[in-house]
Amino acid sequence: MASRKTFLLFLILLLLPLILECFLLEALVINSSDGDINTRAVCTEMEQKALLKFKGGLEDPSDEAAFHLSSLVGQISHSLLDLKYLNYLDLSSNDFQGNPIPNFFGSFERLSYLNLSQAAFSGMIPPHLGNLSNLRQLDISASPFDESSWVSDLNWLSGLSSLKYLNMGLVNLNKAQTNWLEAVNMLPSLLELHLPGYELNNFPQSLSFVNFTSLSVLNLDDNNFEASIPGWLFNASTLVELRLGSAQIKGPIPYDAWGNLCSLEVLDLSGNDISDAGIEFVDSLSTCSNSSLKELFLGQNQFNGHFPDSFGYLKNLRLIDVFDNRLSGQIPNSLGHLKNIRSINLYLVLSDNAISGSIPPSIGKLLFLEELDLSHNGMNGTIPESIGQLKELLALTLDWNSWKGTVSEIHFMGLMKLEYFSSYLSPATNNSLVFDITSDWIPPFSLRLIRIGNCILSQTFPAWLGTQKELSHIILRNVGISDTIPEWIWKLSPQLGWLDLSRNQLRGKPPSPLSFSTSHGWSMADLSFNRLEGPLPLWYNLTYLLLRNNLFSGPIPSDIGGELSSLRVLAVSGNLLNGSIPSSLTKLKYSRVIDLSNNDLSGKIPSHWNDIKLLGSVDLSKNRLFGEIPSSICSIQVIYLLKLGDNNLSGELSPSLQNCTNLYSLDLGNNKFSGEIPKWIGERMSSLKQLRLRGNMLTGNIPRQLCWLSDLCILDLALNNLSGSIPPCLCHLSALNSATLLDTFPDDLYYGYYWEEMNLVVKGKEMEFQRILSIVKLIDLSSNNLWGEIPHGITNLSTLGTLNLSRNQLNGTIPENIGAMQWLETLDLSRNRLSGPIPPSMASITLLSHLNLSHNLLSGPIPTTNQFQTFNDPSMYEDQKDEEDEKEGDEDGWEMSWFFTSMGLAFPVGFWAVCGTLALKKPWRHAYFRFVGEGKDRMYVFIAVSVTHFKRKMNRNGGAHG
């Protein structure tokens, strides 16, 4: 019933102009006999039938009408032609299901307004529309979801001599034989031209004369011009709004010509990647005696140079957006002249050059400023107290800078309308910004969001924060708080969509259960890296629950899957959780990330993972889990990361794993898996970038199918019982011969708060890699039984960072061209049977910082150039003995071991045999000491006589020589 009422209401609104027109029609009846002219206002029977036929051709899909008022479908009846006086037709935002625009629309001679936008028309735009000579407004723009509409030529536009508004957005004009600019130039009355969004590839650079002398709005957003701004555009002096955003405009940007566009109020050049140019053209805009410019969008380009002082002379500016550029220098003090400014967005993603210094004190003069965003710069000065004079300010964003100094209540004293405050500094600042606010201060504002990070806020939760009753987002990350979480925060939980108190020194037991807000569509609680304890809390309605690296203990709640059914990310790694993983975990059907790693969990991995259709990452590593991998875990075909390493899992690698065809990372290291490495890893897991199987009991050869993994960046098969030769085809791992860094898995798994980890042996040490894992490139085949030569093709892996082939039985020589591996930082070939010289080319690997060639049979000189001058440990070159010597050494060692063992056993026996007898037999004791005394006297006499003889001999020899 509701849908029918909605349909009838819409139809009445749609036909109301037609009905009114019908009743206002004047039928003139001329009586030739008496010359009387009679008038009567009637709606003719023909027109009534036309309206009924039009209605009859339309349908109302009841399942959509409740959501979209304009959702009519069906056929447009030719009966509309009977409405001879029709001058207004609006069929926009309907669904005509890809039907073409009817040709007969070109027959409405009186039509002045035609709107067919986003009505799901497709096909060729009929040139018959060119017959509508009275048309003032034409909108045939399409929706991104519609099928393509296109034109074969544009000559018909010349017939629309009265046209003032033309919108052909998302209509394909590239098929037109006529140049779009020449066609539009034939419309002298045109005020607005909108051609956004179909990647026009032709931006004519010349125009003999500008005929559209009244044009005020030109919108060419989202095209593919690949051209600079043409000179003729600056002759359109009537322009009020010029939009060239994301249109692939190239530099250089004309400098002086902008002074011709003094009527310009909106200029949008954003999203064009314009490089090798500054924004000094703003100087030209500022030369207008009464500049009209109100909104300036220059974001997402590569503009460089300084922020022009001339910005301060565009006195009508209300919005400045230079987001994501390469501007440097300081914010000019002249910005204080912009009395009408409403929003300043200087959000710049920069590397070594950026806006720097302090905020100028003149910022306090911008009394109408509502939004100030200075995030992601290199600003390293202080925040002026004058910022507290911005009484209209709603949002203040100072993120990702290196602010110094102190912030006090004076900075906030006049910010009575402030709702959003964010000062999340770069972690490299070492908390250089300190908040020094008195404990009894009462703010004049009521915040909805507070975001402070990497600053010094207070050792305890500030009392003034407890006065903010409207907060929906609280982010106090790494701000030096060492306290229990106050009750007022927990009382706000029903309205909180985001609670982040991570990386502090919080203690105590959080309350459970709690409910968080659902009004934002998602909600997050991140209390990671604190000292919170107690059982794992159950907090309802959360989308993201991150409690990593705390002291939570006890078992995971048995019904976690039912109680927290809305979770998308569960990350509780690095706690003291024990017991088994509850089977209800697999009921988290919306989950994208489950991370239970680095706890004390035991038992088997739950089965029945089939219900979690969108699960992208499972990390159960570093626990005490045993048994086999459940086959259902790979029924989730979108899974990207599977980490089960450092457990006690056993058995052969299950064939069910080959169903994980989208895996980016597979870590099964340090378990008890046995059998051979399956060939299907290389055959089925074509997206694999990380494979870690180290520390198992795998046997057999390294399958050559692993060489098919073109994106593989980490191959760690160390500490197994693999045999055979190293596959020569490893040289085909193209990701290790490319400078392109591949993301390990999709960004939607991170959300800025979750990242993967992996333990790898690099530079002789086991290290845990986290955020930089995506740049690690490693092959580790150490501690196996591999034999044969090192494949010479392996030197083609020019961007490999770590190569460890140690503790195998490799022979032959080190590849002569190993110097081609220019990115190599770690090279370990120790404890093999390699022979020959160290290749001189190795000295050209300038990044090499860890080298171990010991216990081989290498010969010849050691290179002495480049980084070899820093390798001072001779053990890295120590050679291994040959096999016979090793066996003899082993036999000698065995004999020496028995010798010292027998000596060790004989010594106490002999000692107590002698000393025990002397202690028990007094005559023997006297005889022993008398013997020792006499022996001492004899030794003394012998030494004295010998010394005397030696002196005499020396004297005689000296006299003979004399």
Q: Is residue 569 part of a domain?
A: yes
The pLDDT tens digits for 857-874 are 999 888 776 667 666 555
Q: pTM for the whole thing?
A: 0.77
* Cβ(501)–Cβ(481) below 8 Å: yes
Annotate 344-359 with DSSP letters as a single string.
EE-----SS--EES--
- Give mean pLDDT, residues 158-187: 91
Q: Is residue 315 part of a domain?
A: no
As a whole number of angstroms, the distance between CA 167 and CA 165 comes to 7
Omega before 513 cis (within 30°)? Answer: yes
**What percentage of the chain exceeds 90 in pLDDT?**
56
Q: Is residue 867 part of a domain?
A: yes
pLDDT-based confidence at residue 742 (cuts at 50, 70, 90): low
Instruction: Identify the weakest region by mean pLDDT among 307-321, 532-546, 665-679, 700-714.
Output: 307-321
pLDDT-based confidence at residue 893 (cuts at 50, 70, 90): very low
Same domain, 488 and 472: no
Same domain, 494 and 466: no
pLDDT-based confidence at residue 145 (cuts at 50, 70, 90): confident
As a whole number of angstroms, the distance between CA 387 and CA 393 comes to 9
> Cα-atom radius of gyration of the chain, to the nearest Å?
41
The pair phi, psi for residue 138, each rounded to 5°, is: -130, 120
As a whole number of angstroms, the distance between CA 285 and CA 762 comes to 57
Which DSSP state fits 262?
A: T
In the prediction, which pLDDT does 36 show? 33
Burial of 872 (0-12, 13-18, 19+ CB in 10 A): exposed
Q: Residue 381: give its domain's CATH number.
A: 3.80.10.10
Bridge-partner residues for 344, per DSSP? 320, 372
Bridge-partner residues for 852, per DSSP? 828
In the prediction, which pLDDT does 764 show? 83
Instruction: Identify the weakest region by mean pLDDT among 119-128, 558-567, 756-765, 798-807.
Output: 756-765
Q: Is residue 267 part of a domain?
A: no
CA dihedral 482, 570, 376, 255 (to 10 degrees): -170
Same domain, 574 and 520: yes
Residue 554 pLDDT more than 60? yes
Same domain, 59 and 193: no
The more confident residue out of 62 and 855 is: 855
Q: Is residue 417 part of a domain?
A: yes
Residue 840 pLDDT more than 50? yes
- Give mean pLDDT, residues 765-792: 91
HSE-CB at 744 with a 13 A cutoff on CA atoms is 27
The pair phi, psi for residue 572, each rounded to 5°, is: -130, 30
In the prediction, which pLDDT does 937 show? 47
Identify the domain boundary among 663, 688, 706: 663
Identify the domain boundary among 198, 228, 243: 198
As a whole number of angstroms, the distance between CA 594 and CA 267 comes to 47
Q: What's the domain range around 50?
A: 1-82
Residue 431 pLDDT more than 90? no
pLDDT-based confidence at residue 900 (cuts at 50, 70, 90): very low
Same domain, 458 and 530: no
Strands 765-769 and 123-124: unpaired
Same domain, 495 and 643: yes
Q: Is residue 703 part of a domain?
A: no
Instruction: Identify the weakest region by mean pLDDT among 358-367, 634-643, 909-918.
Output: 909-918
* Cβ(411)–Cβ(385) below 8 Å: yes
As a whole number of angstroms, the distance between CA 379 and CA 359 comes to 8
The count of domains in the chain is: 6
pLDDT-based confidence at residue 423 (cuts at 50, 70, 90): very high
Same domain, 94 and 70: no
Same domain, 516 and 592: yes
Q: Is residue 745 part of a domain?
A: yes
Q: Which helix (H) or strand (E) holds 602?
A: strand 600-603
Instruction: Identify the weakest region by mean pLDDT among 82-91, 224-233, 619-628, 886-895.
Output: 886-895
Bridge-partner residues for 123, per DSSP? 149
In the prediction, which pLDDT does 876 show? 55
What are 444's two structure tokens? 């004049």
- Give mean pLDDT, residues 588-602: 95
Bridge-partner residues for 593, per DSSP? 569, 617
- Give mean pLDDT, residues 762-785: 88
Instruction: Identify the weakest region by mean pLDDT among 410-419, 639-648, 763-772, 906-915.
Output: 906-915
Q: What does the H/E/C string look like for 648-675?
A: EEEEECCHHHHHCCCCCEEECCCCEEEE
State how far the alpha carbon of 942 is from the alpha carbons of 6, 599, 946, in Å: 132, 76, 6
Residue 651 pLDDT more than 80? yes
In the prediction, which pLDDT does 879 show? 59
How many Å separate Cα 902 from the centre of its chain?
67
The pLDDT tens digits for 906-942 are 445 444 444 554 455 544 444 444 444 445 444 544 4
Identify the domain boundary among 439, 459, 480: 480
pLDDT-based confidence at residue 37 (cuts at 50, 70, 90): very low
Residue 1 pLDDT more than 50? no
Same domain, 471 and 496: no
In the prediction, which pLDDT does 305 show? 85
Burial of 938 (0-12, 13-18, 19+ CB in 10 A): exposed
Same domain, 654 and 734: no
* Cβ(422)–Cβ(401) below 8 Å: no
Place of tokens 């566009």: 261
Mean predicted lDDT score pLDDT of the chain: 83
As a whole number of angstroms, the distance between CA 12 and CA 445 comes to 48
The more confident residue out of 22 and 692 is: 692
Q: Which helix (H) or strand (E) holds 499?
A: strand 498-500
Same domain, 719 and 640: no
First to last CA, the chain: 142
91-96: long-range pairs with CB below 8 Å, 24+ = 91/115, 91/116, 91/119, 92/116, 92/117, 92/118, 92/119, 92/139, 93/68, 93/117, 93/118, 93/119, 94/70, 94/119, 94/120, 95/61, 95/71, 95/119, 95/120, 96/120, 96/121
pLDDT-based confidence at residue 882 (cuts at 50, 70, 90): very low
Residue 64 pLDDT more than 80? no
In the prediction, which pLDDT does 743 show? 58
In the prediction, which pLDDT does 325 show? 87
In the prediction, which pLDDT does 941 show? 40
- Give mean pLDDT, residues 515-524: 89
Same domain, 47 and 91: no
pLDDT-based confidence at residue 108 (cuts at 50, 70, 90): very high
Annotate 369-404 with DSSP letters as a single string.
--EEE--SS---S---GGGGG-TT--EEE--SS---
Identify which of 684, 676, 674 has the alpha carbon closest to the alpha carbon of residue 666: 684
Q: Is residue 936 part of a domain?
A: no
pLDDT-based confidence at residue 20 (cuts at 50, 70, 90): very low
pLDDT-based confidence at residue 30 (cuts at 50, 70, 90): very low
Identify which of 568, 577, 615 has the alpha carbon closest to the alpha carbon of residue 596: 577
The more confident residue out of 195 and 740 is: 195
pLDDT-based confidence at residue 754 (cuts at 50, 70, 90): low
The more confident residue out of 698 and 252 is: 698
- Give mean pLDDT, residues 674-680: 97
Residue 5 pLDDT more than 50? no
- Give mean pLDDT, residues 613-621: 91
Residue 160 pLDDT more than 90? yes
